[in-house]
Structure 1
Amino acid sequence: MAQVAEDGTGPRASASPREITVKAVVLGIVLAALLAGANAYLGLKVGLTVSASIPAAVISMAVLRMLRGATTVENNIVQTAASAGEALAAGVIFTLPALVLLGYWTEFPFWPVMTLSLCGGVLGVLFTVPMRRALIVDKPLQFPEGVATAEVLKAGERGGSSARYITIAGIAGAVLKFCQTGLGIASSTVTGAVKAGGVVIGFGSELGVAMLGVGYIVGLNIAVLVFAGGALAWLVGIPLYMAFADPAQLQTIVSGATGYDAAEAVWSEQVRYLGVGAMAVGGLWALLSVLRPMRDSLRSSLRAVREARGSGEATVERTERDLPANYLVYGTILMAIPVLLVFLSVVDGGRLEIGGGLFAGTIAFGLVFSLIAGFLFSSVSGYMTGLVGSSNNPVSGVTVMTLLASSLALLGILGSRIDFSADEAKATIAAATAVLLSSVVTCAAAIAGDNLHDLKAGYLVGATPYKQQIMLIVGVVVSALCIAPILSVLYTAYGMGDSLPRPDMDPAQALQAPQAALMSSISKGVLLGGLPWPMIITGGVLAVLLIVADQLLGRRGSSFRMPVLAVAVGLYLPFELSVPILAGGLIAHVAARARRGRGEQDGEAGRGVLFASGLITGEALVGILLAIPFAIAQSADVFAISPSALGMSDGAFEIGTNVLGIAAFACFVIWLYRTAVRAG
């Protein structure tokens, strides 16, 4: 048995507990692949991902408990590798699908997707190695998910029983998803609209349970802000735009659509760009907020390295051993080489019709930009994760900032030689180049936040930092190998955004890929012109007001805060996705009050989080599994039950599916609440 520290939190620094074992590595690899797929689906559907560390820790404890002899730090190693899958999926799906939406790719080629995601993820691990001591040891930040994961690991004896909440919810969520998307007997969304004069107010709700789980996990504060952003865009922004827009321009946007479809067209073409402005300002604010702490962090890390060299490696305790500092330099150079090769092979310099020198200079700029911005935003991501948690990591804001900067830089470099406004094909190539640069940065930033919150959990349970960093790299490699096939299958089965690989596909079934759609619009809009700058500027002004309000709330010590990026996400999401997120947040709040009324602590409410995680995982995995037969058959109606098979008219069948979808969603709302408030 491993030696345990005096406070009971984990093995002593002088002990040598089992950490990286064969069973831990195998389980970590399997969970990394599964969670990468589940979060890729979730992110493409709604533009949000959730931290996978707690579910991974619970599953690890349940499995390793059956094999007997597992240590706390061994379970920690499993969740470390597994959570890398979720984080890398976020970095990839926020950027690379934009190349398909731009029309630059017609599929997801394996080697470029794998290489960019792998290299970006490994850089994210390496860039945060020198920050661990400063942010976790010398300047301990909150790292909410890291602390929560450590508490779950310490209570490992409850792992077997706790895992059943994930399993039951996962099965139930999977069955509902199959009924909605596979059999087609239950609606996955319900929408409506009210028309007053020439103004349309659209409203609706997603009836899938994944968003319900997301809302529960992020809590009422974030859920309210996401919903507020959606309400502001759909209930205020769209009606105002339709009331005051030029009639001819409005007719061009609406193009004969009526009701909810008309509102959706206005949102897609104009109003969602409020979210672009808010995200850009939010990302800049995040960067400015961490400049001083980042400087202090680097100074502290360099001082620690000098002290370790001066005193000798043997004197450094096990719990303070990071990957050697020279690995950062060598690893960065090693990762830069395949990134450069991808840039050279994917960017079509011949079609740009520029000289070899300018092309080489553009590629060199792209490589240097991606490495510098990757390091800078990895630091931002790591620090912000410590403040607000991994689930609220401002990756969206980081991506928007990176893409705007890279697009404007490419416009400056190539704009004197190419008239992009007169050649859309060349603008598409330049826009795709900006997306490629941003993909490396975004993957690095996403992994950086995950890395540090995993290291926080490890610090609290007495783990060895360099072993966790090794397992994070293992998780990155596994996820990078899986992500390209997953994206290909999902795209072939459902389509993404307004890009449908087959003419007979149902646009309503397409994965929205909101962040990627945003990236394609921004990159091409900067180069071609035509971005709705009044909307972007208005969104930026709104973000400034939110930042001021949030700072005032912070000074008053309010428990309710207003992080600008949560509102920005709501502005950019279809409104029907915000509704179940709000429902989940309300359940979390009401359930917490009920538990406190019985004298229980909030920390005893793990079953609600686990149940919500199961809902997300079950729906996401069935969505991926259904994509396989859909892709093979080139149709999403493989398992669909037709109205005639049930002896029903089309109208009656539609009413029946809506009623069944709403009733099923209501049952899951009640079930989640009852699970969350259950005593003992």
Structure 2
Amino acid sequence: MSNDSRSATAPLYSPAPGEAQLTLRAVLAGCLVGSVVSCTNIYIGLKIGWSFGASIVAAVLSFAVFAAAGRRLSVLETNIAQTAGSAAGYMSSAAGLLAPIPALQMSGYEFTWQTLMLWAYSVGFLGVFFAVPLRRQMVLVEQLRFPTGTATAETVMAMQSGAGDAMLKAKALVFAALGAFAFALLAHFYPKLEAPPLHEITQIGFLITAANWGFTIALGPALYGAGFLIGPRVVLSLVLGAVIGWGVLAYQVQSQGWAPGKLMDFKTGPRGWILWPGVALMVSEALASLAFSWRTFLRALFPQSGAEQVEDPAAAENIPTSWWTGGLLLGSCLAAGVSQGVFGIPWYLSLVAIALSSVLAVVAVRSTGETDINPVGGMGKVTQLVFGGIAPGNAT
């Protein structure tokens, strides 16, 4: 490895001996922010199908709150806060609360909150031990960039050197949240504020026609925030898909008599008809993107040599091998048991899923480290196709 590459990946921070790290206040602050983000992810995920991370938000808010109280978090404590916040924020997605669980409930399954908590705990516990062996190869040997993690680290260091900047960011977050809360409160009592009916605010012909085919104006702050984060290319693609799907295909299938029912009827209406080309496009794109990432697959499955020669600066804090293997076995048994008890999935199919997930996790972590994109959609499609062949007709 060249000297340039080593300097490019030099540690951003060297902690002082005895610096506070895993403290109760850091964990609680991160969990609190992450819990809020997880709840918002469920709302946004059910609304538009996406979820967003909490690393930088948790770091900024946790640091700013304690700085305002005169008890600033250390660098390591801030890192613990953002770690806890990120983990809690992503649990809604990791536990399947954005797609699989709602899909099962729409199919007639019912789950109590206690059951869902047990399920989330089991998959979260198992996932932690999946990550243990990946750290050395991805972080120490190959030194992947992990853009979001790097950006979070730079943010933490910037806050430590200038707390005023952190306070400005925290104030921006708080004021934006208060504004969104006020709008949501008003929209609860005046629904037309969030979704004004086009029929009542305009007499322009094509807008009236668009309203008849399901188009409307959504003024909710959550959608604006999502648009800020995902950027113009994805937003324009969504607009184009909506126009083609609902403005062209829906009209054609109803006028041709292929879907004569009401517009939003899944069984006989255009909504149920255009669902299938939409799903086909998503699955094909996901699988195609995975196919074009074959180099990432190969690097993940056949990692670089040299792991034994790399010095681990945190060797004294590493999890013992016995803990890792024991945790992995316990987590696998727990996940398989919960899957069988909650979803009726045979334990041997759960073990197949765990084995498949271990391979896909390597690919997902490498893709995230290289491009900052976790191909969760493509990974999910691969799993669905595999189990569609192994257990056809089984919804769970």
Bin for the TM-score computed over the shorter chain: 0.7 to 0.9
How do 1:242-641 residues align onto structure 2 when only pairs under 5 Å count? 242-243=254-255, 245=256, 247=257, 249-251=258-260, 253-254=261-262, 266-290=269-293, 292-297=295-300, 300=303, 304=307, 306-307=308-309, 316-318=312-314, 322-347=318-343, 363-389=346-372, 392-411=373-392, 430-431=394-395, 433=396
Preserved contact between residue 115 and residue 339 of structure 1 (Cα < 8 Å):
no
Tell me, yes or no, if structure 1 residue 223 matches structure 2 residue 235.
yes
1:263 Cα deviation (Å)? Answer: 11
Preserved contact between residue 145 and residue 370 of structure 2 (Cα < 8 Å):
yes
Deviations 1:91-136 (A, max 9, x none): 322211222111021xx32343122222222333322333334434
1:334 Cα deviation (Å)? Answer: 0.7
How do 1:135-214 residues align onto structure 2 when only pairs under 5 Å count? 135-156=138-159, 157=163, 158-181=165-188, 183-184=189-190, 186-190=192-196, 201-214=213-226
Q: What secondary structure, in the 3-state scheme, does the structure 2 residue paired with 1:205 have? A: coil
Taking the aligned partners of 1:98 and 1:404, their CA distance within structure 2 comes to 17
Preserved contact between residue 51 and residue 145 of structure 1 (Cα < 8 Å):
no
Taking the aligned partners of 2:304 and 2:322, their CA distance within structure 1 comes to 13
Question: Which of 113, 118, 124 is the equivalent residue of 1:115?
Answer: 118
1:44 Cα deviation (Å)? Answer: 1.7
Distance 1:289 1:137, change over 3 A: farther
1:366 Cα deviation (Å)? Answer: 1.9
Number of residue pairs the alignment of both structures matches: 376
Distance 1:265 1:149, change over 3 A: farther
Q: What secondary structure, in the 3-state scheme, does the structure 2 residue paired with 1:11 have? A: coil
Distance 1:205 1:138, change over 3 A: farther
Distance 1:184 1:80, change over 3 A: same
- Aligned partner letter, 1:237: L
Distance 1:399 1:375, change over 3 A: same
Q: What secondary structure, in the 3-state scheme, does the structure 2 residue paired with 1:20 have? A: coil
Taking the aligned partners of 2:28 and 2:107, their CA distance within structure 1 comes to 38
Q: Which residue of 2 aligns with 1:63?
A: 65
- Aligned partner letter, 2:104: L
Preserved contact between residue 290 and residue 383 of structure 1 (Cα < 8 Å):
no
Distance 1:195 1:77, change over 3 A: closer
- Aligned partner letter, 1:380: V
The alignment's TM-score, normalised by the length of structure 1, stands at 0.50
Preserved contact between residue 133 and residue 300 of structure 1 (Cα < 8 Å):
no
Taking the aligned partners of 2:371 and 2:239, their CA distance within structure 1 comes to 19
1:141 Cα deviation (Å)? Answer: 4.2
Preserved contact between residue 51 and residue 93 of structure 2 (Cα < 8 Å):
yes
- Aligned partner letter, 2:194: S
Deviations 1:295-316 (A, max 9, x none): 5346548852x558xxxxxx74
Preserved contact between residue 115 and residue 338 of structure 1 (Cα < 8 Å):
no
- Aligned partner letter, 1:165: A
1:370 Cα deviation (Å)? Answer: 1.9
Distance 1:195 1:317, change over 3 A: closer
In the alignment, structure 1 segments of 5+ residues that lack a partner are 309-314, 349-361, 412-426, 434-680
Taking the aligned partners of 2:295 and 2:10, their CA distance within structure 1 comes to 35
Taking the aligned partners of 1:267 and 1:187, their CA distance within structure 2 comes to 28
- Aligned partner letter, 2:102: P
Q: Which residue of 1 aligns with 2:128?
A: 125
Preserved contact between residue 59 and residue 163 of structure 1 (Cα < 8 Å):
yes
Distance 1:333 1:187, change over 3 A: same
Deviations 1:43-65 (A, max 9, x none): 12221111221111110110232
Q: Which residue of 2 aligns with 1:101?
A: 106
1:171 Cα deviation (Å)? Answer: 0.7
Distance 1:52 1:319, change over 3 A: farther
Deviations 1:468-503 (A, max 9, x none): xxxxxxxxxxxxxxxxxxxxxxxxxxxxxxxxxxxx
Tell me, yes or no, if structure 1 residue 90 matches structure 2 residue 93.
yes
Q: Percent identity?
A: 24
Higher RCO (C-alpha under 8 Å, 6+ residues apart):
1
Taking the aligned partners of 1:114 and 1:97, their CA distance within structure 2 comes to 15
1:149 Cα deviation (Å)? Answer: 1.5
Q: Which residue of 2 aligns with 1:38?
A: 40
- Aligned partner letter, 1:382: V
Preserved contact between residue 129 and residue 327 of structure 2 (Cα < 8 Å):
yes
Taking the aligned partners of 1:144 and 1:186, their CA distance within structure 2 comes to 41
- Aligned partner letter, 2:55: S
The alignment's TM-score, normalised by the length of structure 2, stands at 0.82
What value does the CA root-mean-square deviation take over the aligned residues? 3.5
Taking the aligned partners of 2:336 and 2:19, their CA distance within structure 1 comes to 40
1:407 Cα deviation (Å)? Answer: 3.0
- Aligned partner letter, 1:22: L
Preserved contact between residue 202 and residue 234 of structure 1 (Cα < 8 Å):
yes
Taking the aligned partners of 2:276 and 2:174, their CA distance within structure 1 comes to 39
Q: What secondary structure, in the 3-state scheme, does the structure 2 residue paired with 1:398 have? A: helix
Distance 1:186 1:205, change over 3 A: closer
- Aligned partner letter, 1:184: Y
Question: Which of 72, 89, 92 is the equivalent residue of 2:75?
Answer: 72
Q: What secondary structure, in the 3-state scheme, does the structure 1 residue paired with 2:100 have? A: coil
Taking the aligned partners of 1:264 and 1:223, their CA distance within structure 2 comes to 29
Q: Which residue of 1 aligns with 2:203?
A: none
Deviations 1:604-663 (A, max 9, x none): xxxxxxxxxxxxxxxxxxxxxxxxxxxxxxxxxxxxxxxxxxxxxxxxxxxxxxxxxxxx
Distance 1:160 1:302, change over 3 A: same
Taking the aligned partners of 1:8 and 1:60, their CA distance within structure 2 comes to 26
1:343 Cα deviation (Å)? Answer: 3.0
